[in-house]
Amino acid sequence: MKVCVLGAGAWGTSLAIHLARNTSVTLWARDASHLSGMKKSRSNPKYLGDFKFPDLLSLNDNFKDAVLNCDFILSAIPTAGFRNVLKNLKNIGSDSPILWANKGLEVSSAKLPFEVINDEFPSSKNDFRSWGVLSGPSFAAELIRGLPTAVTIATNDGEFSKKIAPLFHHNNMRSYISSDIAGVCVGGALKNVIAIAAGISDGMGFGNNARAALITRGLSEIKRFGLKIGSKPETFTGLSGMGDLVLTCTGEYSRNREVGLRLAKGESLKSILDGLGHVAEGVYTAKEVSKRASLHNIDMPITHEINNVLFQEKPAKEAVLDLIQRPITQE
């Protein structure tokens, strides 16, 4: 089976390298100069240091050529560019199955990736194709170093799951399969917002108790949101729910936690994002989730406070203290 991986950031490249240990992979990058540098070094020094590409991994900056010569597509493009990728696939007539690994909500529409793909490939037009999401507690820096990693693959087609899950399930990676695409998308997206809150709390020196409370209550918010859109409750105790949330709120490689840490130091959001070097999906996800939660009367106090800090210039310390001082409620 031939795989096309779209997006040569840290996560896309690490997945491409992992797959290419056993499978023929084409890694597509939009930036021709970035791709040229990778060809020369047979690595991705911009995002992953000098980890060498396997022989089965090739590089291509021609989108049409890359996607029309594969059996399935793995998209690691940030959520902001996901719809454009789908439109481009339609324009060139690609009918390959799609798996995505991005985690977030689309800016302005507040839609999750599975809702975006339903927009672009509506089943009512008899354009059924297999698709799904790969998510879970997974830092690219650890996967690429050969450290144990487990992920969930949720698809709309059980046969597709059985076909692609073994491609990931080798060496240091273990894969599980699911049919709850909505729940896996919600867990992967919303945990980034809670990670910003955890970073703020840690940056303020509020300690382990506060972080544990934020993770626990944050999971309740994620689950409430997920159930509202039809997710299965058990998904949120799994890898793409609790697993990914704990990792992102505590791990040293978490970009979203780093945003929170730097906000706690008083840095401006613009300065943080300019210096980060990677996409922190939780920043714009906070705004979109807060908007959608308000529209559907979903109680999400942590998410609303993080949105206030990011976009309403509310002091981070004040936001955390306001959360603590909320009225007593039933757990």
261 close to 203: Cβ distance less than 8 angstroms? yes
Distance (Å, rounded) from C-alpha 49 to C-alpha 289? 34
Q: Check if 191 is active-site.
A: yes
Residue indicated by tokens 């955890």? 198
Distance (Å, rounded) from C-alpha 39 to C-alpha 36? 5
Q: Which one of 103, 111, 191, 287 is the catalytic residue?
A: 191
Annotated active-site positions, please?
A: 191
